Structure 1
Amino acid sequence: MDSSQISLRPFKLSDVDDFLKWAGDDRVTRYLRWNTITSREEALTFLEKVAIPHPWRRSICLDDRSVGYISIRRESGDDQCRAHIGYALATDYWGQGIVTIALKMAVSRVFKEFPDLVRIEALVEVENKGSQRVLEKVGFLREGLLRKYGFCKGEIRDMFIYSFLVTDMNDDAHKLCP
């Protein structure tokens, strides 16, 4: 995939139809805490009330069309040195390296935008092998298994915890963007 075609930008209401295509796919939302979006009206409401006002939720765009998202949520107070990352991508684009490129862009930007941020964490269900591979390609390190840790879609599930530290950006093995 040509990285020049991939961009990250805030969501817009005009993304509604593209958003509905991927957010309405059960395969995309399987490991997300939010449910599959089932109508254009629901998609508009989600964009207006959740995606757009979120402090750092970006649309992954391919030639400026929304094909997924990355969300980074910082902790508050004394824990604002830490943030959580989540993401999803339309199934038509799985396996093409798009999320890997987008995550590298996001991690690099977030560490620049928030100079007091030192750690980004990702929680990944044990069964979600694709997401584990993506995180490892970006340079996230698997720190361990959290048993019966995450509640998703009515179940408490085992999760792997991954991390990326700001110091990893300077490590040759974890170089992000040229």
Structure 2
Amino acid sequence: MESYSDHGITLRPLQIADADDFFKWYSDEKVSQFCSWNTFTSKEAAVQYVAHFVIPQPWQRAICLNNRPVGCLSVSPFRGEDRCRAELGYVVASDYWGKGIATRAVQMAANAVFVEWTHLERLEAVVAVENPASQRVLEKVGFRREGILRKYYLLKGKPKDVVMFSLISTEM
């Protein structure tokens, strides 16, 4: 299997014009199984979600392979006293799993966000206990596994256990 981890990966703002590309992963049940959103059944619904929830994120990017979006990621800052930390989330179309794309994109995002947000000390990511592939992505980038948070959030209406990962600015 060809690895894309060393070439052709770029990050750029996700745009409504990317609708055909992002509908592919937003409509894939394999992709959405560990995400807070439900699978979209129409391109219009996916466009509305991207327009109202994804694009307004302070730091969101399309993960592109040879200039074509194959996923997206975001970094969401905490507010108030917790301004020193932010949460990372990412998704890649299932056709591109296992090729190093998510690992490279997460590495690029972590490098960029610590430079752009000089106040940021900690980047966090929570991953469902049942999602070992995503856990490996974070470990390869250098995130540390901190532990399991029991029934940490609702996923498709059910409480889920997650693994908390973090990357500290001085570890970059």
Q: Say whether the fold is shared (TM-score over 0.5).
A: yes
CA RMSD of aligned residues (A): 1.0
Structure 1 residue runs without a partner (length 5+): 170-178
Q: Secondary structure at the match of 2:35?
A: coil
Aligned match of 1:57 in 60, 69, 77? Answer: 60
The CA distance in 2 between the partners of 1:8 and 1:58, in whole Å, is: 6
Query: What is the aligned counterpart of 1:48 among 45, 51, 63?
Result: 51
Task: Choose from 151, 154, 165 the match for 2:154.
Answer: 151
Name the SS for the 2:7 alignment partner: helix
Question: Normalising by structure 2, what TM-score?
Answer: 0.95
Q: After superposition, give the CA deviation of every residue in 1:12-65 in whole Å (9 maximum; x if it has no partner).
A: 111000000111101001111111121111122122212222211111011111
Runs of 4+ in 1 over 4 A off after TM superposition: none
The alignment covers a number of residue pairs equal to: 169
Identity of aligned residues (%): 49
Q: CA deviation at 1:4?
A: 3.0
Task: Kindly provide the amino acid, as one letter, of the partner of residue 24 in structure 2.
Answer: K
Contact 2:5 2:99 in 1 (8 A): no
Which of these residues, 53, 70, 77, is aligned with residue 67 of structure 1? 70
Q: Secondary structure at the match of 2:114?
A: helix
Q: Which amino acid aligns with 2:19?
A: V
Aligned to 1:96: 99
How far apart, CA to CA, are the structure 1 residues paired with 2:6 and 2:12? 15
1:64–1:9 distance in 2 versus 1, CA, 3 Å: same
5+ residue gaps, structure 2: none
Q: What is the one-letter code of the residue matched to 2:96? A: Y
CA–CA separation in structure 1 for the residues paired with 2:53 and 2:157: 21
TM-score by length of 1: 0.92
Question: 2:29 is matched with which residue?
Answer: 26
Q: Secondary structure at the match of 1:4?
A: coil
CA distance in 2 between counterparts of 1:154 and 1:135 reads: 26
- In structure 2, what is the equivalent of residue 80 of structure 1? 83
